[in-house]
Structure 1
Amino acid sequence: MHSPLHHSAHHLSPLDAPLSPLTAAIRCSLTLSLLCASPLALAQDEQTAGTQADTMVVTATALKVNAPTIETPRAVSTVGREELDERNVQSLDEAFRYRSGVLSGHYGADNDTDWFKVRGFDQATYQDGLRIYRTGYYQWLPEPYGLQSVDVFKGPASILYGEAPAGGLINAVSKRPTAERRGEINLQVGNRHHRQLGIDTSGPLTENGDVRYRMVGMAKQRDGDLDNTENERYYFAPSLEVDVSDDTSITFLASVQKDDAIPTNPFKLTYGTVEDTPFGKVDPQTSYGEPDYDTNERTQVSLGYELRHRLNDTWRFEQNLRYSQLDLKLRSTYILARQSGSDRKAYRGLVYRDGDIESWMLDNRLIGTWYGDRTENTLMIGLGYQDLGLEGQEADISGFGDPIDIFDPQYGNYMPVSGDQLAEREIDKRQTGLYLQDQLRIDDRWVLLGSVRYDQAKTDNFNRTDDTTQRADDDQISWSGGVMYLGDHGINPYLSYTESFEPQASADSNGRLYEPLEGEQWEAGVKVAPRGWDGYFTAAVFDLEQRNSLVTTGGGRQEQVGEQRSRGLELESVGYLTDQLQLTTAYTYTDAESEGDERKTLIPRHQASAWLDYDFQEGAMAGLKLGGGVRYVGESVYDQITVPDYTLVDAMASYDFADSWRAQVNVNNLTDKEYVASCNYWCYYGESRSVIGSLSYRF
């Protein structure tokens, strides 16, 4: 969770950093590629959504080369635009509610952060194959309305994507220009004063279609799930794709997003949630913030491109680059601990951040494919560079204001933070990675995959207040390998080994930089996609370890501990039972242990979900679609406390009429069930019922 004692930092341009040999090579490659290179997009609409009877979903993000996920010896799940629309996904962490291996919603309804656990561990978030930094409370949030699809890579994924926690990564794929002219206007209203207007238009700009555009814009506002909280967002994302020649194209991607919020801090004490009190339970909507002082004003801007250039029939060059900046003004009050000797009073803390984060991301790939009598070989050589700089004023205050009544909070009894309470901190991190991957197919029966990566990372943590600097230099070699047998009837068993490496651009409460997180995983599974069936089934077992893990301890502090382990089973299926009836099911068993073989907090052993929808295509009800889902999350533990399991029901109905119009209603937590989603040092109520109606016109 965004544990209330964390970190901060500073920006340093790539040009200011000392040039290592790898960094110099990257800059040379960038200069050359600007003169000659070109992209088709990392994952075009037809790639992320394209389906065939025998190659269910084709994605360019799993291995950074076009390959059917059903023939990839890694566990990967994808949620496409159609499903995002059908379930009216409002935040990124809602996307995988009906997929295996992913836990979300365990911190309740947070209006300023997306939260996931994958296979019992944290994950990294990427957009269009490049890292989105979430350092401290500087949280970059992808807007779901601007996405074409979302992928989750389960388990270590550092080999191709650089730094990543052991849990894996989420890759959000932005909407791209389309060859055909299309557009949409979408209006939404719902409970908690939800209001949203979205516009999405794309198509060719020239007569021969060699220049294409897309413009996505959205404005929305909604009250938070806690009293006196809210968020207002404006989003605009233009993109342009140009075919420079038959061999070269370039896609420019940009976005601007502004959030103005009173933050939702879902922290509650165990006292009054999972523990009884003389005064009953705390109301789930109770907020312990300061509505007249708390704020979360965030502006995030990004600009980048994707280049693709075909050198000859064998080799092609690809490059992704993005610059991003996030400005943050955060004042966030939270409950800290019960006052000694009192049954009703509790102390509060404050997180104060005022600064900005800038980053440069660059990824170069040279890909060659050649064929033998019985083989197909794809070799990729990659070179990536990441530069992160964060600079700001910060304070983490324990004992902010007067103690507050846990059951009937009264606001306004505090003194604003003064300048002498602030620390000025700068953190700069530069990471260079060189990677190699080879994929060999033999007789269209065997897929052999091998990868190696070398990373060089440098982190500087400078505290201006006491004029101290800490530096960390980290080098790492990571390995990955896999084998899959392409069996008859679309039954493909596989075995894989992967590693992860994640330098930390953050410090503990004493200002010391954390050690890098390291992970490794063995995985065995089977992927099934019979020819003639529009669907797939996957099963996987895994054994995953992470070293130098960060955990939330008493008072909410993040401390670095030893080894943590997670083992489990995942089952997942998406497919059509008939032409009109589609079923999505998932089951996850996760045995997650912290140091000392103790059961890990937050992580349930069992999760299961099922979503069924029926599309009426004929008769008087043609155009009507009905869907519903059930989500089960098993019990979890914290200390000696058991957090009960819970089951939630979701529903939707849509109706297409007058050729271009669609009316839709989505209800999450249909029964408005009140439940505690999880506990670590704090406890978190799950999100209350959400009802949103939408009307869209497509042209």
Structure 2
Amino acid sequence: MSAAFLPTPLARAIRLTLSLGIVATSMPALAQDDSPESLDALVVSATALKVEAPLVETPRPASVVEEEELRERNVQSLDETFQYRAGVLSGHYGDDNDTDWLKIRGFDQATYQDGLRIYREGFYQWLPETYGLERVELLKGPASILYGEAPPGGVINAISKRPTKEAQGEVLVQAGTDKHRQLGVDTSGPVAGADNVRYRLVGLYRDGEGDLDFTENERYYVAPSLAWDITDQTSLTVLASFQKDDAIPTNPFKLAYGTVQGTPFGKVDPSTNYSEPGYDTNERTQSSLGYALSHQINDVWRFEQDFRYSELDLLLRSSYIFFQTGPREGQRYLTYRDGKIDSWTVDNRVVGNWYTDRTEHTFLAGVDYQDLNNKGQQNGVGGFSMFGSPIDLFDPQYGNFTPITPADLVVTEIDKQQTGYYLQHQLRLDDRWVFLAGARYDQAKVDNINHEANTRQEADDDQLSLSGGVMYLAENGVSPYVSYTESFQPIAGTDGNGDLYEPRTGEQIELGVKIAPRNLDGYVTAAVYRIDEENSLGTSQGGFQIQDRERTTEGFELESVSYLTEQLELTAAYTYNSAKVRDQATAGSERQAPLIPRHQASAWLDYSFTDLAPGLKVGAGARFVGETKDGSTEVPSYTVFDMMAQYAFAPQWQAQLNVSNLADREYVASCDYWCYYGAERSVVASLRYRW
């Protein structure tokens, strides 16, 4: 694809991407080998290729956030992880305690944990606990070649903490605004002094209130794991987790009236809660058991198998504002779910590595299988119904409703199976060229059953997904690349009429450069891309999820994590994203996609006082999100600031303070039929003891 045939902003971005290679060759030495910390520019990830490989030598766009950064920024939920990375939008629905909301390159993403899919169907949302993670990896763009069904946005892979060879542990105590309280324990090491068996036990208790009046969440979490080196060639790691949440759901839904639109009664206060606090509940219990097995067959071939069984039980009564009925009144609706998800997934693969005089080969072949059953009660065919009398939008009064009864419920069931066969070959030529090619064939089956009406809807879909890439590894650390990927996603859900959705398909072409010169302790990446998706989902002007559109994103990303001096580290990102939607209902007219800003930028600086005050480290960041549109509704841009300070005041003790939205700015984060205020200021103090 030539820049001459692309829209002007994207063409300029391509020229900027290519010019970065010239800039990098003249970059001064910004960090020294004896710096107190080092970023190893060759960050190794297994998510981009399903085999461990340095990200800067991989012709696929990816980012990694390590445990140290998760800890320093006090990341409390998965959707906070990539706030300082390019191409990622989070916080657009404000404070929400029952879902991780992320958009990658303008699209939804698939969430994995330890390389296996986390099932999130409708309101049955599996929530990874960030205290139990050692890092989070992001593969941007369509990724069906390795992961089967997935939206075009990409794949987020949360990596659980694993047993360590050395004995270690910590106790963490936190307190903060909104009555935040947290106690964490993490201990690991050899079992009974044995060298080949190791354990880890991670536990957490957290309690706190939400941004909305009368909302709260209490969580219990425990994750034991055991690693066993069975022989020199074979290893097994068993991973388990249990998590229980008891909450009053935070539904940040507001109308445009009173948020981005003026009223005779002023603005709606961000903390206003249109739910029914004495009736609404979100009781979620999730548990899993799985393992990762690796066996080195010989000097060339290795067999790997990942398996996990998971179960999620949910009782959700969640009321929310739906539409305006008068100058200061609105009608509420209710979503009710009482059911569970049982799922298991297994991924089998063989990896081969061999060499010739001029080449290095990495071959991957695999078969994976995913099985999901989601059965439960819900209110009505569409899963929602009118709830109570109209409520005052500016001064809500509670209690004027009739509780839901068994007669209002229907029993629905979704069965979903998918089998995928995939091949991937990476060829490294003369230690300068990297060629990557892959193909995957998926067979997916979805059954949607209404037990009350005794009806069944079936959908069988087969899909061939392809991918390829080429990268040149220059001596100066500048590595340009081009890649092509595809995505495929059967949707185990139904529309407002109870009909199954059609599968979504997507494709991406990307041109980029990854820069990691020897004199830079860190990396710089830049990329331009175009993603096209068919059968897209969106929110209609009536508030329903509909499938009548196509979606295109053209964008540019710039990202860097680097040490500017021995003590000063910079994380910076910029994203340009032109996301367009074409609606079939309006004869293919094109408009800007809601929620997605054209411009985003962020920067975070860390400074370690190694000489003046050893043990003291401070950090500060800014996050800018440009204006967005939902039809004729315009949402202004906003900028929020964060800060961190930590001090190791004794060999095993550390204190830390984190503040997000430092100025407590009040802003509307986005509108998509409903409008959502951004998260308010949060202040959390931590005390950590390690051994």
Is 1:336–1:398's contact at 8 Å kept on the other side of the alignment?
Answer: no
Is 1:433 aligned to 2:420, yes or no? yes
SS at match of 2:590: coil
Choose the corresponding residue for 2:232, options 246, 257, 260. 246
1:237-276 matches, within 5 Å, as 237-276=223-262
- Cross-structure match for 2:42: 56
Measured in 2, the distance between the counterparts of 1:52 and 1:247 equals 31
Choose the corresponding residue for 2:602, options 591, 596, 609. 609
- Cross-structure match for 1:22: none
Is 1:354 aligned to 2:354, yes or no? no
Deviations 1:581-613 (A, max 9, x none): 100000000000001321100000000000001
Moved over 4 A (4+): 51-55
Choose the corresponding residue for 2:356, options 365, 372, 392. 372
Counterpart residue type for residue 496 of structure 1: S
Is 1:501 aligned to 2:488, yes or no? yes
SS at match of 2:79: helix
SS at match of 2:343: strand
1:419-430 matches, within 5 Å, as 419-430=406-417
SS at match of 1:70: helix
- Cross-structure match for 1:381: 365
Deviations 1:157-214 (A, max 9, x none): 1111111001111110000001111100000000000000000010111434100110
Q: C-alpha displacement at 1:52, in angstroms?
A: 7.9
TM-score w.r.t. the length of structure 1 is: 0.92
Q: C-alpha displacement at 1:527, in angstroms?
A: 0.2
SS at match of 1:511: coil
Over 3 Å counting, the alpha-carbon distance change for 1:115 and 1:356 in structure 2 is same
Measured in 2, the distance between the counterparts of 1:678 and 1:517 equals 24
Is 1:639 aligned to 2:636, yes or no? no
Q: C-alpha displacement at 1:532, in angstroms?
A: 3.9
Measured in 1, the distance between the counterparts of 2:202 and 2:39 equals 32
Measured in 2, the distance between the counterparts of 1:608 and 1:398 equals 40
Deviations 1:370-415 (A, max 9, x none): 1011000111101000000000000134320010000000000000
Is 1:518–1:547's contact at 8 Å kept on the other side of the alignment?
Answer: yes
Measured in 1, the distance between the counterparts of 2:39 and 2:625 equals 33
Is 1:625–1:655's contact at 8 Å kept on the other side of the alignment?
Answer: yes
Counterpart residue type for residue 357 of structure 1: I
- Cross-structure match for 1:74: 60
- Cross-structure match for 2:462: 475
- Cross-structure match for 2:546: 559
Is 2:374–2:413's contact at 8 Å kept on the other side of the alignment?
Answer: yes
Is 1:599 aligned to 2:592, yes or no? yes
- Cross-structure match for 2:154: 168
Over 3 Å counting, the alpha-carbon distance change for 1:375 and 1:397 in structure 2 is closer
Deviations 1:259-295 (A, max 9, x none): 0000000000000000000000000000000011000
Is 1:662 aligned to 2:646, yes or no? no
Is 1:655–1:663's contact at 8 Å kept on the other side of the alignment?
Answer: yes
- Cross-structure match for 2:270: 284
Counterpart residue type for residue 262 of structure 1: I
Counterpart residue type for residue 608 of structure 1: A
Is 1:203 aligned to 2:189, yes or no? yes
Measured in 1, the distance between the counterparts of 2:230 and 2:192 equals 13
Measured in 2, the distance between the counterparts of 1:54 and 1:290 equals 51
Counterpart residue type for residue 101 of structure 2: W
- Cross-structure match for 1:491: 478
Is 1:310–1:317's contact at 8 Å kept on the other side of the alignment?
Answer: yes
Is 1:107 aligned to 2:93, yes or no? yes
Is 1:87 aligned to 2:73, yes or no? yes
Counterpart residue type for residue 611 of structure 2: E
Q: C-alpha displacement at 1:511, in angstroms?
A: 1.4
1:528-567 matches, within 5 Å, as 528-567=515-554
Q: C-alpha displacement at 1:460, in angstroms?
A: 0.5
Is 1:54–1:530's contact at 8 Å kept on the other side of the alignment?
Answer: no
- Cross-structure match for 1:45: none
Counterpart residue type for residue 285 of structure 1: S
Measured in 1, the distance between the counterparts of 2:177 and 2:41 equals 41
Measured in 2, the distance between the counterparts of 1:152 and 1:690 equals 26
Measured in 1, the distance between the counterparts of 2:345 and 2:263 equals 51
Counterpart residue type for residue 676 of structure 1: V
Is 2:179–2:207's contact at 8 Å kept on the other side of the alignment?
Answer: yes
SS at match of 1:403: strand
Is 1:578 aligned to 2:562, yes or no? no
Single out whichever of 504-513 and 536-545 deviates more from structure 2: 504-513
Counterpart residue type for residue 202 of structure 2: V
Q: C-alpha displacement at 1:533, in angstroms?
A: 2.4
- Cross-structure match for 1:343: 327
Where structure 1 has 5 or more consecutive residues not aligned to the other structure, the ranges are: 1-50
- Cross-structure match for 2:136: 150
Is 1:429–1:460's contact at 8 Å kept on the other side of the alignment?
Answer: yes
- Cross-structure match for 2:615: 623
Q: C-alpha displacement at 1:151, in angstroms?
A: 1.1
Q: Work out the percentage of aligned pairs sharing the same amino acid.
A: 63
1:449-464 matches, within 5 Å, as 449-464=436-451
Counterpart residue type for residue 606 of structure 1: H
Is 1:679 aligned to 2:666, yes or no? no
Q: C-alpha displacement at 1:53, in angstroms?
A: 7.7
Measured in 1, the distance between the counterparts of 2:637 and 2:541 equals 24
Aligned pairs, number: 646
Counterpart residue type for residue 345 of structure 1: E
Is 2:591–2:631's contact at 8 Å kept on the other side of the alignment?
Answer: no
- Cross-structure match for 2:293: 307
- Cross-structure match for 2:166: 180
- Cross-structure match for 1:521: 508
SS at match of 2:476: helix
- Cross-structure match for 1:38: none
Is 2:40–2:522's contact at 8 Å kept on the other side of the alignment?
Answer: no
Q: C-alpha displacement at 1:618, in angstroms?
A: 2.1
Q: C-alpha displacement at 1:58, in angstroms?
A: 0.9
Measured in 1, the distance between the counterparts of 2:218 and 2:414 equals 29
Measured in 1, the distance between the counterparts of 2:192 and 2:435 equals 43
Is 1:573–1:584's contact at 8 Å kept on the other side of the alignment?
Answer: yes
Is 1:56–1:534's contact at 8 Å kept on the other side of the alignment?
Answer: no
Single out whichever of 529-538 and 133-142 deviates more from structure 2: 529-538
Q: C-alpha displacement at 1:616, in angstroms?
A: 1.0
Measured in 2, the distance between the counterparts of 1:427 and 1:641 equals 36
Measured in 2, the distance between the counterparts of 1:145 and 1:243 equals 26
Measured in 1, the distance between the counterparts of 2:638 and 2:47 equals 34
Measured in 2, the distance between the counterparts of 1:200 and 1:566 equals 42
- Cross-structure match for 1:412: 399
Measured in 2, the distance between the counterparts of 1:114 and 1:61 equals 20
Choose the corresponding residue for 2:682, options 670, 690, 693. 690
SS at match of 2:260: coil
Measured in 1, the distance between the counterparts of 2:549 and 2:389 equals 37
Q: C-alpha displacement at 1:153, in angstroms?
A: 1.0
Over 3 Å counting, the alpha-carbon distance change for 1:323 and 1:217 in structure 2 is same
Q: C-alpha displacement at 1:562, in angstroms?
A: 2.8
SS at match of 1:531: coil
Measured in 1, the distance between the counterparts of 2:596 and 2:336 equals 29
Is 1:332 aligned to 2:324, yes or no? no
- Cross-structure match for 1:220: 206
Q: C-alpha displacement at 1:578, in angstroms?
A: 1.2
Counterpart residue type for residue 215 of structure 1: L
Q: C-alpha displacement at 1:344, in angstroms?
A: 0.6
Counterpart residue type for residue 81 of structure 1: E
SS at match of 2:97: coil
Measured in 1, the distance between the counterparts of 2:678 and 2:488 equals 32
Counterpart residue type for residue 490 of structure 1: G
SS at match of 2:592: coil
Q: How big is the alpha-carbon RMSD for the aligned residues of Structure 1 and Structure 2?
A: 1.0
